[in-house]
Amino acid sequence: MNNLVEKLRKDMGLNQEELSKALKVSRQTISAIENGKYNPSLDLAFTISDFFGLKIEEIFFPNKGGKRNDEK
């Protein structure tokens, strides 16, 4: 699943640790979400969308062709 979490986080001037504390998850969870290696639970996706003030589908979207975010 592709997402805009890293861009949104950086736009707010937050590092991964700060975002993880705000969302009450580990920094590793944030890193894995940003890298497309972990799809958050629906609960966490709602928490993330609430934090950024956006709809879930504005942050998370399926990747075309089944590739991870970091694959070309």
pLDDT at 72: 40
Nearest-angstrom CA–CA distance, 26 and 53: 21
**Does residue 43 contact residue 56 with C-beta atoms inside 8 Å?**
no
Read off the pLDDT of residues 25-64 as tens digits, 9 standing for 90 and up. Answer: 999 999 999 999 999 999 999 999 999 999 999 999 998 7
pLDDT at 70: 45
pTM score above 0.75 = yes
pLDDT at 65: 57
